[in-house]
Structure 1
Amino acid sequence: MLEYISFQTLTWPDALTRVALALVFGFLLGLDRNLKNKPVDFRVYMIVAGTTCLLAIMGQELVALYAVSNPNLKLGLLRIVEGVLTGIGFLGAGAIIKSGGDEPRIIGTATGASIWSSGAVGLMLGFGFYSLALLGFAMLLIVLVLFGVLRKPIFNQSDRY
């Protein structure tokens, strides 16, 4: 029974650390959007970051389980990265809304981009690139929070657009 609940490529504490960090990073990124009353709340970011982390771990497990026993099987981890980021791109695009009226505006671009980026951070954590994930998370937080505050006085733009 234990072989069914164990990992080939990492330990349970390492897997739990990766997923927990993905959820925390997703929560903090989504919290910024939540506090700014954006239509996408922190749960979406947590789901995206956590699930992409799990998909990266799954990819490593698949390679460890099947690549050795069947060398003709092509299990490229980059295919997972490509597929996940493409799929999340559609989710991010759904967060971008074109409003009607006299002067149509595109809104939600920062939210769409940050959803996509939270998926990338989740992948980094899932593959065990903690330093790169921390760097990506810090970059996103600086862009969303600091530059979100600075855009009002510098560019005289509201937080809505």
Structure 2
Amino acid sequence: MIDYSEFLVRVGAAAFCGLLVGIDREAKSKPLGARAYILTSAASAMWIIITLNFSLQVNGLEDDLNVDPTRLIQGLVGAIGFLGAGAIISTTETGRLRGVASGAAIWGVGAIGVACGMGFVLEALTLSVGYVVVLNLYDWIVGDEDDASPPS
């Protein structure tokens, strides 16, 4: 079982990782702000921890009942995909979609939260830093993702 202090560490790490990505998106006035990233990452971690604890508890008590916590990950992937789709609802004057990177980032932050919930905090932090690097490096090289004109 994951005890309460470990729960706090994992969820806190997930919230911090979500904040890292969210600050970038918030600073650039993207469709989803920092709160969405923090909440998505922390909630993903909480769902995983609760499910892990439940599966450990049930599998230890009931011989005939087998709980598979990986099914929750499947549900989270789809549910967070809806959040991402919500960020991709408008187009520019040229017909390009807006918010695609924000949609992808919120989906990735959900995976980061799952990693924290599973106890892979260092890996989650690495992914968060990687996301921030990609979001900024790409903008620096080719210009803003929502800019319809090529960089000069």
Q: TM-score, normalised by structure 1?
A: 0.84
CA distance in 2, matches of 1:116, 1:73: 31
Larger Rg: 1
Question: 1:146 aligned to 2:132?
Answer: no
Partner of 1:26: 18
SS of 2:64 mapped into structure 1: coil
Bigger RCO (CA 8 Å, 6+ sep): 2
Alignment counterpart, residue 126 of structure 2, candidates 135, 143, 149: 135
Gapped runs of 5+ residues in structure 1? 1-8, 153-157
- Aligned counterparts, 1:35-74, within 5 A: 35-74=27-66
Identity in percent:
31
Partner of 1:92: 84
CA contact (8 A) 1:36 1:159 kept: no
Deviation at 1:122, TM superposition (A): 0.3
Q: CA RMSD in A?
A: 1.5
Deviation at 1:138, TM superposition (A): 2.0
Alignment counterpart, residue 114 of structure 2, candidates 118, 123, 145: 123
SS of 1:56 mapped into structure 2: helix
CA contact (8 A) 1:24 1:46 kept: yes
The superposition leaves residues 71-123 of structure 1 with CA deviations (integer Å, 9 ceiling, x where unpaired) of 3223111101110111101111111123265x312111100000000000000
4+ residue segments displaced more than 4 Å: none
Question: 1:82 aligned to 2:77?
Answer: no
Q: TM-score, normalised by structure 2?
A: 0.89
Gapped runs of 5+ residues in structure 2? 148-152
